[in-house]
Amino acid sequence: MLKTNRSPHLARSLALITGAIFITASASAEPRAMENVVADRVTSSHHDFRVVQIAGGLEHPWAVAWLPDGTMLITERAGRLLHFDGSEFHQISGLPVLHSDNNQLPAPRGGRQGGLLDIVLHPDFAANGWIYFTFSSPGDPDSVVTNDRRGTGTALARARLDAGNHRLVDLEVIYSQEPRSAPGRHYGSRIVFPGDGTVIFSIGDNGLRYTSQDLTHPAGSVIRLLEDGGAAPDNPFIGMAPGNLRPEIFSFGHRNNQGLAIDPQTGAIWATDHGPRGGDLLYRIDRGANFGWPQVSFGTEYSTDARIGIGRTAPGVTPPVRIWEESKGPSGLTFYRGDAFPAWQGSLFAGFLRRESVHRIVLDGDTVIEEEPLLGGLIGRIRDVREGPDGLLYFLTDEGDGGLFRIEPLSR
């Protein structure tokens, strides 16, 4: 059950005063621990495994991260940050104000695409205690972008956890997208640390398309900052004419990247990107690369099924490594390094929302040499894929009553 130290009315009032949105759980989405075997045995080409649900009642969960003591932080798009010790949930206060899709506080439950998004611990968390997270930010409440609708954008913040009091402290919003945009969708967003003193995260095109090829606008880009904020000084578009190019942009031409992962063997950054209607992509992100959206596209318009863009290739556009012609809805992405599934070491696991599956992908350089779909339709829309400290794979499902699942190896 969800544990709080105050009455719901008092907690909500205090949260609004401090700038965080407190959203009470509905009866259908009360976080709860469980140990429910969903499937006794699933066979794959290398390992048989069972599927176990360890938590339910999560409202559109987005990401999970492990603290050094083995407990977890889970973000919900609706605006809750939860601390889960395996048996109980505690809501963490102290979040910044999150975007409401109808520009009202508190945000509607689940909203559409905005809210609390990714969460990742700093690689040196044991020494500095920093927790990084992304969210959709409403910006200046007095600003109007178009059609009397407030502009929104992706923001990156960091804070430390006061676990004893179930709150974030030392909150710093180190990046907030400018300019913001309406109508408010395609926020990205995943976070990775390449180990060079920078932090990298993705921003979707805000549903506007033109932003992805406009280097004066950060939407539709992968952003690279110093870990305490500010553009990394060796980013590719710093010092180029004209002088209003965004210095934080690392790569561009993206639609809505919701998967980022670093290959632990090579250091390469890999991404999955939502196509429109069809044409979801896997590619390796390089410094200064243009991935073409929307001039280069592999999908069609939702309303007319007309092809988008000028074609599937163009000069100066980096081609994808894998194209899924049929919409799959890419989400979480991780490289597996654990010992629980030895034949899977080095494989890339890509989650999919629309196809309710995860694909195990083996890469040889920039070539996919093996791809195996797993869990098709078994647990629902997969939002996040992470390797836990126990070497097992964990999955979050994007549902109003979402869950946290893991797979456990079985002898053959």
Catalytic residues: 186
Distance (Å, rounded) from C-alpha 74 to C-alpha 91? Answer: 10
Given a contact cutoff of 8 angstroms between Cβ atoms, the answer to whether 94 and 80 are in contact is: no
Distance (Å, rounded) from C-alpha 233 to C-alpha 151? Answer: 28
Given a contact cutoff of 8 angstroms between Cβ atoms, the answer to whether 268 and 284 are in contact is: yes
Q: Which two tokens stand for residue 163?
A: 């676990």
Residue from 41, 63, 1, 24 nearest 402 by CA: 63
- Please state the φ and ψ torsions of residue 201, each to the nearest 5 degrees: -150, 165
Q: Which residue matches tokens 């629980």?
A: 340
Distance (Å, rounded) from C-alpha 234 to C-alpha 242? Answer: 17
Rounded alpha-carbon distances, angstroms, from residue 368 to 275, 330, 361, 365? 19, 16, 7, 8
Q: How many CA atoms lie within 13 A of 93 on its CB side?
A: 20
Q: In residues, how long is the chain?
A: 412
Given a contact cutoff of 8 angstroms between Cβ atoms, the answer to whether 186 and 207 are in contact is: yes
Distance (Å, rounded) from C-alpha 6 to C-alpha 409? Answer: 41
Please give the biggest Cα pair distance in the chain. Answer: 62
CB atoms within 10 A of CB 324: 23
CB atoms within 10 A of CB 210: 12
Residue from 349, 323, 325 nearest 336 by CA: 349
Given a contact cutoff of 8 angstroms between Cβ atoms, the answer to whether 227 and 267 are in contact is: no
